[in-house]
Structure 1
């Protein structure tokens, strides 16, 4: 009798002996294939590694039934299809270029300290288990305009600033219900306001929105954004990368009226209609309803948002249509 040793292909199983008759020339049956690992979602590279089809398949495996929103919720008032269809050539080119070059952009984050302090640095028990809400500022929470050109009456605030040795007067209107919304959000989320506006402007507006810093935990401005240049004139575009915050992205919502600002984290984005001073606006109340309907889930919030909006797929289709139309702009890093 001849002893032949075969090494198992299964991890964690020791090698074993298989006795073969010396006159038996029949080869042993092939080992069964190893079991397929269950799909895993990684917060730090969720958008980067899952294709749209893989994302949809993973979503289906987590949720077998629909989860309708309440009547009058965000989905009823914001039509994602309309938002995507209205993207112009400038934004389409930016989205397309950033999507193709995200590894080089993400590489800038290596070795950088997170923009936000660790949750254990201060108030250790306050934010430990809270989800995170990242809010845009202009056209999301308020609308700021040049006083001499706006034509608005009775602004909610006026800002005096200097720009290139010139004194600039700007005024603005708060989105209806903004303070009420921030008060509610602060009880449930770690609230972060992140604007592509100048850092000094962001700090000034925060004194108007939340003078005592009761509701907003952190404020980030343009210096925390990724700057890109687009077109022949080298116009600046600012992108916000949630990975730079140092928070768990599976528990992070991002609200912005401009999809290009969330190019690197579309799975976290809740799109909202732009605010330009409309007194009949009710978007923040509807946003509150939407968030309340999702906070009962304990799954990855990005899967929930994908299932609700399917935004990544719609944007990819819009970009493909734009490409087929033969429109292109040049995007180059600074």
Structure 2
């Protein structure tokens, strides 16, 4: 199983952002990708660079003006503000959703998030993160069974025309759009601990891409507002969205039970190819986690996804600088590779 990664993804290097009334060190650091990259090398995964596919597929997923904005946004900010930190603070309003009962959620409803600071390297990083996702999907279109895209910054919170939750371009949605050139029905399975709200936003009215997001209840946990069970799609997309909710404190058995509901729904949809938004932030020791996933659980998820027998693009999402990040990535990806090898042996 190949991995795709470009070193330019490390150039986005935010220092801090404003969260729950205080500045905190930004958890989405380049070191996240370095740890996983080094683990891949130790375990003998081929790591290849993406080709440059340009912005056509990115602009099919995102508003073209939104995409173009990021090209020179940092330079424009510097010209106006000098050395001030480029943390977004002016916001025109909110997008569709519902108000959370949490004070933190309500503050965000009436403002928005500050988690996407601009740095000098942001454009290159998000561009090559998207190219990594496209390359991984193109390898699947070319006949490979499973490819891992180490996309960083992550993407599943990025909406059609809005950055959100550390995310600028929605890499999983971009990969799904790339797969659509070969496969008529594609599913996105989001197993990050946070709602894949951006992916929901992008595909909510489409029938050709099924989005299943497994996440902690958005009434009380970020990203808030989107990802409730009764949100099932609109128009042509009615029935093509499934939100599987976890309560804070949920254990591994509960998580895996809900995960299997998602696999069953993907089978019922008749998916011909799969994108996995792969988050390791469900781990019980992840700095952002409120559930109790273990390495054993990640191993189980990996093997059951392989047993779906679908051409699969894995796209890295969350998983932050806790003690087990590299270990959980190793467990998941080596389990995937081992299960693929076992399936090949069984065929022979």
TM-score by length of 1: 0.26
Mark the structure with the bigger radius of gyration. Answer: 1
Higher RCO (Cα < 8 Å, 6 or more apart): 1
Greater share of strand residues, 1 or 2?
A: 1
TM-score by length of 2: 0.25
